[in-house]
Amino acid sequence: CTNHTANVPCHPAPNITCKDHSGNENNFTGKEVGFYKPIACRNVNGYSYKVAVALSLFLGWLGADRFYLGYPALGLLKFCTVGFCGIGSLIDFILISMQIVGPSDGSSYIIDYYGARLTRLSITNETFRKTQTYP
């Protein structure tokens, strides 16, 4: 990551023809890089997604998942109420698995694969629906 962004190579599907901004057409075979997409780097501080889900599944009724993620008050409350009689443990397992609840410091989980993950969307002046212009 440089300047909080990383350039990820994007490979178009085979037999896709793209026209760039100057009007040149490129036919892709699926092996070459079509373009590089800049994405924002995620801030991680050592909290593993696998560990958080495992703690929530097996020791969630003791509040171990909330202690691990940095929420000691909720962890203690779950410990004293045996995971809110099991209902709170189930809800926390779902929230942690869907990555809605993350570390308390605002960082992201360390995920060692490029699978699905939740991305929060927000509407700003730069993220509104634009009308598509055709050349």
Asked if residue 89 has pLDDT above 80, the reply is yes
The residues spanned by each domain of the chain are: 5-41, 45-110
With vertex at residue 122, the alpha carbon angle to CA 120 and CA 123, rounded to the nearest 5 degrees, is: 160
Q: Which residue has the higher pLDDT, 7 or 71?
A: 71
d(CA 44, CA 126): 26
Mind listing the pLDDT tens digit for each residue in 29-75? 888 888 888 887 778 888 999 999 999 999 999 999 999 999 999 99
Pair type for strands 5-10 and 35-40: antiparallel
DSSP annotation string for 49-61: HHHHHHHHHHHGG
Entry pTM:
0.63
Residues forming beta bridges with residue 37, ordered by sequence position: 8
Residues forming beta bridges with residue 6, ordered by sequence position: 39
Contact between 49 and 110 (Cβ < 8 Å) = yes
Mind listing the pLDDT tens digit for each residue in 72-85? 999 999 999 999 99
Amino acid at 120: R
